[in-house]
A = this chain, B = another copy of it.
Amino acid sequence: MSEEQKRKVPRIVILGGGFGGVYTALQLEKSLGRKKDFEIVLVNKENYFIYQPMLAEVVGGSVGLIDTVSSIRKLLPKTRLCVRDIASIDTEKKVVYLAPQFTHTEYELEYDHLVLALGNVTDFRGIPGLHEHAMPFKNLADAILIRNRIIDVIEFAASVESEELIESLLTFVIGGGGFSGVEVAAELNDFARKLAKNYPEIDEKKIRVILVHSKDHLMERELSESLSKYSEKLLKKRGVELRFGQHLTSATPYEAIIDKKERIKTKTVISTVPSSPNPLIETLPLEQEHGKIRTDRFMKVRWKEDIWALGDCAAIPSEDGKGMCPPTAQFAMREGKTLAKNLVSVIRKKGHKTPFHFKCIGMLGALGHHSAVAELFGRFKFSGFFAWLMWRAIYWMKLPGFDRKIKVAVSWMLDTIIPIESVQLKMTPSQGIIRLHFEKDEIIFKEGEIGDYFYIVVDGEISVLKEKDGREECIATLGAGEFFGEMALLNENKRGATIKCTTAVDVLALRKSDFGALISNFEELRSSFEMTSKKRKDAIQGNGEDEKKNKIA
């Protein structure tokens, strides 16, 4: 890299543009002054910093769609920003590899000091169907997708007649009763109920918002029991169903499954749990504790002189030495400040480092509908409208950037005079190959329905049912690696059989148009299809009774 040879001062590379990364860079810029004795590079997926505490308001629309994010470039004028995905990190060569974009080559970013501020991710692995059918609530796109889904199901419920379908469209299930789960449930509940009032076809009372939480009260890690109880009362009053000591154990296109037995018919499953550190962390040869990188109290990574870590991806010993610092925005901001100072001290060979020290001032949580709960200095507790005003005031003050402050203030003012909007921002993403999860006894499609997808069984077993003389007959069973649904796409328009899951089933689904593109252009695939199709047709006409498995769908 030609540019690398020019490098004369040490380079600090910060990975991640959340609270930890951005506040580290802010302090580094301050310390840098005019000395220019080091350079700062920040790598982030997006060119903006998400102000997480306000994200739930995007769902309800009380702030503009992009008012909760700030341009990193504006916040950090002296930092070089790379808006790229991280492919891998080589701690021996001291290089971060950035994933290709617009070209097919990786970009090598050398570092002298590396700051890991990669945060955590919602990790649905291990819970069947969550990855496929549950919506996470972590970033801006998630919030907008949730908003769109709410509008979608209500629009759709207004135009159909089946009571069963309407019921499932108007049921929302949210997993996780921590801060973000509660905030999203509160905003969703408010928004859906307000929105429904615009639809004469919809009875608002049919809306069900169900919050499933594994513990016995809400936000047990963040709030005292009395405030938690207050929140529960408030949410219940507004119509949120609270399920304590229960778990979301699986999701399908039709249902949310609670504790492996109760099946709630729904088209909208949101899950804020479980969260785990960024998968990149696993790949690093650094000492870890519960998936987080172990640091000392100066936030330097153990046994490494040039790697630092903070925020949700780091295990930083707490002041009393007994536990770890909690993964909250408040802590990440203060950690960033201390880390930056220590790092500069090392670069300038001052020899002095400060251990991280911070006592949490308080906790605030919005509950939608002009109410909130707050707890300050571990002693003062507020709730209701006053807490909500305080919540807005404090977060507004902390909101980075003057422009953003104005925009949010204006949005909030307009919000009090203008009724809610049902306008959707549809980006109509093409779906390509999607994964679907079904539970035992669910129907993937019914005889006579439109052929819209082609399916490949990844796991589990399905049976192919056909109506004959008024009763359903199983004409075949298919398992992993086998496919179905191609006949309605290739020849006719309607499904020739019903597909029912005899176990829990994972499938890959290909849209009709994508299937068509593949089949008509991919010789290898076409010929193998033609063979199978012929067999299946023969089987249906009864001249291939031995062909037990390959039959029409």
Contacts and interface: CB of A to CB of B under 8 A. Distances in A.
Given A69-B423, A450-B100, A432 B514 contact: yes
B445 A104 contact: yes
A449 B105 contact: yes
A528 B481 CA distance: 14
B514 A433 contact: yes
A70 interface: yes
A409 B153 CA distance: 31
Interface in A258-304: 267
Contacts of A532: 524
Contacts of A432: 430-433, 511, 514
Contacts of A435: 517
A528 B524 contact: yes
A497 B66 CA distance: 44
Among A153, A410, A418, A432, find the residue whose CB has the most chain B CB atoms closer than 10 A. A432
Interface string A419-436: 101111111111111110
A226 interface: no
Interface in A374-426: 403, 406-407, 410, 414, 417-419, 421-426
Contact of A70 (B423, B521, B528): B423
A165 interface: yes
Interface string A184-206: 00000000000000110100000
B522 A161 contact: no
Q: How large is the interface on A (under 10, 10 to 19, 20 to 34, 35 or more residues)?
A: 35 or more
Given A102-B156, A104-B445, A419 B403 contact: yes
A414 B144 CA distance: 23
Contacts of A71: 421-423
A457 B524 CA distance: 12
Contact of A522 (B429, B434, B481, B517): B481
A525 B528 contact: yes
A100 to B, nearest CB: 5
Contact of A452 (B100, B107, B145, B450): B100
A482 B522 CA distance: 7
A141 B104 contact: no
B528 A161 contact: no
Contacts of A480: 521
A101 interface: yes
10 contacts: A47-B151, A66-B425, A432-B432, A433-B433, A433-B514, A433-B517, A457-B521, A480-B521, A524-B528, A525-B525
